[in-house]
Amino acid sequence: MTPLRLAILIIALLLGGHAAAQSQPIPVPDPPQLGADGYILMDFHSGRVLVDQNSDVRRDPASITKVMTAFVVFNELRSGDLTMDEPVRISEKAWRAPGSRMFIEVGNDIPVTDLIRGMIIQSGNDASIALAEHIAGSESTFAALMNQYAAELGMTNTHYTNATGLPGDEHYSTAADTARLVQALIERFPDYYRLYSEREFTWGGITQSNRNRMLWQDPSVDGVKTGYTEAAQYCLATSAERDGMRLISVVMGAETPEQRVSQSKSLLNYGYRFFETHRLYAADEPVETPRLWKGVADTLPVGVAEDVFITLPADTYDQLDARIRLNEPLEAPVAAGDRVGRLSVSRNDEVVRERDIIALETVPEAGFVGRTIDTVRLWLN
């Protein structure tokens, strides 16, 4: 081999080795260590927790409480028991509410839509109390509603005594519970959730900016809520979406408003840099069409009841192995929604997601002749 050919071969091997190295998955470093008391980073679609530090420790949630207040209000709107243009009479208690305010006046009739914006954008304690009293008759009764929804969502370390987030001995939540709440709010009320991205609101000639400064500093951020009391320090629940991947971060107990923003940025950037989320299967779409015996149809489309998402380290999607095990033989009658098998998704021989496989159609039994023929075929098989 001539020296020139040898040199070309060496260069080709070096370049090939470099390309192979570039195609390797990005190593996932340890998550950022923040100065806040507790924090969490979670993927919205898959629910996977990517960063967790004291996220189940009960803390004063401050005005992040108003996320649950809004959750209850949105449920009332969706059920038709409340409308956006419905007038709300302002009580003296609401008018006298301490802390952040929308500056509504006692005795006035204010539309629900304006009170919601005053609560979300201006973090108005007065607006929160007005909505609570209008829906439940009193703030304490409304707090009982809040606790019912918290239990429904599995927020086992949360208890509310008011609709505002003002301190109370039995008023507490956690970063993990707050992330679950934000996930549920976005999932159930996507149209109302858009209110959290509005940057300012004017009422009574007074314009107030949204306290969530992330809306100005990161174009992918579209919510959610800040909070502050002396006991809670500075808190921030954030949600952002980049290229179809939505993350939720919650920071509780930061020392300054600037730190809650910078710490939230660190969490989001870590998640987007080192992880990716994929939808593996769509709800109600066939993943297989296996043989069905003794039915009026010979095949049965099967799939999953809900979208199946998975969050994994970046560039490791090709390491996934999905397997479907059906309850064979499948025999009619089958009703849509019946469990007929199990989906198992693994990575490097570790199961990372499991879901039921269900029938996507209802198939009645065949007549006597058809059932008899299939019985014989099954016996022969």
pLDDT tens digits along 275-305: 999 999 999 999 999 999 999 999 999 999 9
- Mean pLDDT computed over 88-100: 96
Distance CA 248, CA 222 (A): 11
Which of these is catalytic: 66, 128, 173, 266?
A: 66
220 pLDDT above the threshold of 90:
yes
> Confidence class of residue 371 from pLDDT cuts 50, 70 and 90?
confident
| Cβ–Cβ < 8 Å for 263, 255 | no
Active site residue 63: yes
pLDDT in tens, 313-362: 999 999 999 999 999 899 999 999 999 999 999 998 889 999 999 999 99
Note the pLDDT of residue 380.
83
Note the pLDDT of residue 14.
44
Token pair listed for 90: 């302002």
Token pair 């879901």 is found at 355
Which of these is catalytic: 55, 91, 100, 123?
A: 123
- CATH fold, domain 282-380, is Peptidoglycan synthesis regulatory factor (PBP3), Domain 2 (2.60.410)
Question: What are the sequence ranges of the domains in the chain?
Answer: 38-274, 282-380
| Cβ–Cβ < 8 Å for 254, 232 | no
User: Please, which residues bridge with residue 206 across strands?
Assistant: 203
Give percent above pLDDT 90 in the chain.
86
Among 183, 230, 234, smallest CA distance to 35 is for 234
| Cβ–Cβ < 8 Å for 69, 146 | yes
- Mean pLDDT computed over 192-199: 97
Note the pLDDT of residue 130.
98
Alpha carbon 149 to its chain's center = 16
Active site residue 66: yes
Known binder of ligand: residue 93? Answer: no
pLDDT in tens, 33-53: 999 999 999 999 999 999 999
366 pLDDT above the threshold of 50:
yes
Which of these is catalytic: 46, 55, 63, 100?
A: 63
- CA-based R_g, the chain, Å: 27
Among 310, 308, 302, 291, smallest CA distance to 357 is for 302
Within 10 A of 257 (CB to CB), how many other CB atoms are there?
15
pTM score: 0.89
374 pLDDT above the threshold of 90:
no
pLDDT in tens, 140-168: 999 999 999 999 999 999 999 999 999 99
Alpha carbon 335 to its chain's center = 31
- Mean pLDDT computed over 304-308: 96
Cα–Cα distance list, 191 to 78, 186, 187, 195, 325 (Å): 11, 9, 10, 8, 38
Q: For 180-214, what is the HEC assignment? A: HHHHHHHHHCHHHHHHHHCCEEEECCEEEECCCCH
pLDDT in tens, 4-23: 343 334 334 444 444 444 45
Q: Which of 2-11, 117-126, 163-172, 266-275 has the lowest mean pLDDT?
A: 2-11
Apex 215 CA angle, 111 and 38, nearest 5: 100
> What kind of architecture, by CATH, is found in domain 38-274?
3-Layer(aba) Sandwich (3.40)
How buried is 150 (Cβ within 10 angstroms: 0-12 exposed, 13-18 middle, 19+ buried)?
Answer: buried
Note the pLDDT of residue 95.
97
Residue 57's identity, in one-letter code, is V
